[in-house]
Amino acid sequence: MDLNLQDRARGALLGLATGDALGTTLEFTRPGSFTPLTDITGGGPFDLAPGEWTDDTSMALCLAESLVQCGTFDAHDQMRRYLRWYREGYYSVKGHCFDIGGATA
């Protein structure tokens, strides 16, 4: 199998979004205090539908788009996209920023 860089990047982003959608059900839950998940069920502290992702994926999509559009790392462009996500819900499954990590805020 010969995967080019674009295929690998897509796979990484799909894996990230899938893991985020699985994990959001138990976001902020203490390890060992729950039955392990075997399916993407949604819910969690943000009451997301199955398959919906959190701020982690939204921010990763902003970064990925910036890298593709600029062809290199551009901190100004990256921050502009993050601000758009924060202010307008860009790449948010809810159309608004419903969570932001403490380190990000």
pLDDT digits (tens, 9 = 90+) for 17-56: 999 999 999 999 999 999 998 899 999 999 999 999 999 9
**pLDDT of 57 over the 70 cut:** yes
Domain ranges for the chain, please list them.
5-88
Q: What is the mean pLDDT of residues 86-93?
A: 97
The sign of the torsion formed by the CA atoms of 5, 14, 19, 89 equals: positive
